[in-house]
Structure 1
Amino acid sequence: MTVLNAIFPIFTLLFLGSLLKHLGITNETFLKTSDKLVYFIFFPVMLFWKIGSSAPDKGVSINLCAASIMAVLIVYLLSLFAIRLFHITSFQAGSFSQACYRFNTYIGMAIVMNTLGESGIRYFGILIGFAIPLINVLAVSTLIWHSGKKGSLGQNLKYLLKALISNPLILGCAAGIFFSRSQASFPIFIDNTFSLMTSVTMPLALISIGGSLNLAGLKHNTKVSFIATILKLLVLPTIGFFLLKAFSVTGIPFKVGMIFFTLPTSTAIYVLSAQLNSDTQLASAVIMLSTLLSFISLSVVVLI
């Protein structure tokens, strides 16, 4: 019943998003617009509000972030080893590598809200605030290396730095932490405004993700997609579990960490692959496969 209560609503909205797109009720223009609204406005506001209105923790987030970042780095190195071991082409390498460790922030927040409530949101927000910059550096570096455009390294690094500094999710997390440390509180009218604004965030994000899923590239990239998905949904959670134990992370932070590790790969890998000359069909295939199979990995984590 716990799994049904926590995960069924998320996958129902994903299915609804796919159904609406199939029926023509939504289209590419709508999906792109909703993505922008969630990414640039609603989700950063939610992070700022949720983190800013919670009490500062006593250092638990440091251990959670350290264990999680170390797990991501290990899986990143394993992805580079897998590229050589399974003879993955340079055109596929960048998409494959980032698919092994990038995570879907929106599904993660929805799961955390459903299972852990307000107490888990702060930890998840702080964790993604630290993880997103590192993951972007790893992903872009690998994409550049395999893109065949090494001469434009300076330009790509400039693009990466600009993307990190202006990332709305990072800014929302940082602003929330700063506000929380100031021990100030939101006036009721501001609190109510944020509550109204952010109530649309998760439904809109999940419907958009569902609308972007498709099976087009899966049949041509089955083997590589499964390898990436295994690294993302099995290897990363296993390594993460032992690192969380090693860093003495327990309770709600431990549950947040395990949810983080078992999330499907981010839809952002498609956009980044397109920008830096990598295989977008593979990216699309892994997004689809990992999203479907994450029902199993997330169910296991919710149960334990």
Structure 2
Amino acid sequence: MVAIVNALTPVLALILLGFIIKRSEFIPNSFWPSAEKLTYYLLMPATLIHSLAGKDIGSSPWFNILLTIWGAALASVVFVGLSWLTHRRMGGPVFTSLFQGGVRFNTFVALALAESLFGKEGLFLASLGAGFMILIVNVLTVSAFSVAVGSGGLDVRRISRDLMRNPLIWGCVLGIGLNISGLKLPVALDGSLVLLGKAAFPVGLLAVGAAYQAGNIVRHWQPIVASCGIQFFCKPVVAWWLAAATGLSGVAAGVAVLIFSVPTAPTAYILSRQMGGDHDSMAVIITIQTCLSFVTLPLTLWLLSS
């Protein structure tokens, strides 16, 4: 329980700080759109390149982890689609919040918990799984935005165009390309990426807090309930089943389930702002899921250990 509190408290603290800063008008309102743009186009791609380029797969059960991660991610898309069918009045922008709330995951919390619970081996396997997850989640999310916020139909050319010019996709492609090629980034360049990446998380959380409005809980209760059900029940169950089906066991299985048990990513808010989603509903989903995970994560880990 201590590990969970230590991992989640900084997340909530920064959201609260962003809320206070915005309401106190300590910083001009014009700061927040600029901060979001900086995070989206520079800080987030930097951390993706660094994290994906530096993974050494070695003798780990990487293929089984890949099958589990991608299988559970695709299953979460199906769950989101089924939820949308029961709420057909939900507009496209709000649907993107439901999508991100049910598909994305908080990398920071997952890695922190993996290290606290499973040590260095857990941290390595969680980093490997997060790398696989980051790539497919960004492709799926950008595609969802292209369909829901665009023409409302499956426009392959539009989706391809959005994928090609999305900085997060480029971060994933460059990171994986460097990993596969075996090329090492110069120490100075890698150090610069590390520093830029460290800024992405706090700036993103501050922006979430700045956008948070309590009234949005009632206004957007449907995507909140649906995304929480998918995030904290459906995904862990599917991940557990797939881990068993692919032969994962021990720490590898525990890490796979853990990745699909954490709340959604704070960076989902930045993506929502930049791609025309409903950022108000996204901010409240991130906040509610982070609060609920104080209860759901201990329960999931207890069931996993049993």
TM range (shorter): 0.7 to 0.9
CA contact (8 A) 2:73 2:133 kept: no
Aligned residue number for residue 157 of structure 2: 158
In structure 2, C-alpha distance between the alignment counterparts of 1:286 and 1:130, rounded to whole Å: 21
**Distance in 1 of aligned mates of 2:156 and 2:43:** 28
The answer to whether structure 1 residue 71 and structure 2 residue 72 are counterparts is yes
> One-letter code of the match for 2:224?
S
Write out aligned runs for 1:80-119 (5 A): 80-85=81-86, 87-91=87-91, 94-95=95-96, 97-99=98-100, 101-104=102-105, 107-109=106-108, 111-113=110-112, 115-116=114-115, 119=124
Offset, 1:179: 1.6
Find the residue that maps to 2:158 and give its secondary structure.
helix
SS of 1:267's partner is helix
In structure 1, the residue matched to 2:189 is 190
Pairing partner for 1:121 from 127, 132, 138 = 127
2-side partners of 1:213 and 1:74: how far apart?
A: 29
CA distance in 2, matches of 1:52, 1:212: 33
Work out the CA distance in 2 between the residues paired with 1:161 and 1:66: 24
| Contact 2:101–2:286 (8 Å) recurs in 1 | no
Alpha carbons of structure 1 residues 130 and 231: separation in structure 2 relative to 1, 3 Å:
closer
- Other structure's SS at 2:56 match: coil
Q: What's the offset of the Cα at 1:163?
A: 1.8
Aligned to 2:142: 136
Q: Is the 8 A contact 2:19 2:209 kept in 1?
A: yes
The corresponding residue for 1:235 is 234
Q: Which runs of 5+ in 1 are unaligned?
A: none
Q: Shift in Å at residue 128 of structure 1?
A: 1.0
**Contact 1:98/1:139 (<8 A) preserved:** no
Matches within 5 A, 1:201-240: 201-240=200-239
Q: Which moved more, 1:52-61 or 1:19-28?
A: 52-61
**Change in 2 beyond 3 A, CA 1:33/1:115:** farther
Distance of 2:130 and 2:172 partners within structure 1: 10
Structure 1 residues 298 and 192 mapped into 2: Cα distance closer, same or farther (>3 Å)? same
Using the aligned pairs only, state the percent identity.
16
Q: Is the 8 A contact 1:60 1:253 kept in 2?
A: no
What amino acid is the match of 1:267?
A: Y
**Residues 172-228 of structure 1, C-alpha deviation per residue, up to 9 Å, x if partnerless?**
222222222333333333343333333323222222222222222222333553233
Between the aligned partners of 1:101 and 1:17, the Cα distance in structure 2 is 24
Deviation at 1:56, TM superposition (A): 3.2
Counterparts of 1:196 and 1:190, CA distance in 2:
10
Q: Measured at CA, do residues 273 and 163 of structure 1 come closer, stay the same or move farther in structure 2, by a change above 3 Å? A: closer
Shift in CA distance, 123/160, structure 1 to aligned 2, threshold 3 Å: same
- Give the letter aligned to residue 76 of structure 1: V
Structure 1's 199 and 91: CA in aligned 2 closer, same or farther, altered over 3 A? closer
TM superposition shift of 1:139: 5.3
How far 1:299 sits from its partner (Å)?
4.8
1:170/1:274 CA distance change after superposition, 3 Å = closer
Amino acid at match of 1:52: A
Aligned to 2:15: 14
Q: Distance in 2 between matches of 1:298 and 1:26?
A: 35
What SS does structure 2 have at the residue aligned with 1:204?
helix
Q: Distance in 2 between matches of 1:204 and 1:280?
A: 16
Cα deviation for residue 97 of structure 1 reads: 4.9
For the residues of structure 2 that align with 1:27 and 1:111, how far apart are their CA atoms? 33
1:189 counterpart letter in structure 2:
A
Helix, strand or coil at the partner of 2:104: coil
Distance 1:211 1:13 in 2: 10
TM-score, normalised to structure 2, is: 0.77
Deviation, 1:124, is 0.9
The amino acid of 1:56's aligned partner reads I
Provide the residue aligned with 1:52 in structure 2.
53
How do 1:243-282 and structure 2 match up within 5 A?
243-250=242-249, 251-252=251-252, 254-255=254-255, 258-264=258-264, 266-267=268-269, 270-271=272-273, 274=276, 282=281
Q: Distance in 2 between matches of 1:195 and 1:254?
A: 27
Separation of aligned partners in 1, 2:44 and 2:301 = 23
Letter of the structure 2 residue corresponding to residue 121 of structure 1:
S
- Asked if the contact 1:63/1:247 (under 8 Å) is kept, the reply is yes
Do the aligned partners of 1:44 and 1:173 also contact (CA within 8 Å) in 2?
yes
Q: Which runs of 5+ in 2 are unaligned?
A: none
- Equivalent pair of 2:76/2:103 in contact (CA under 8 Å): no
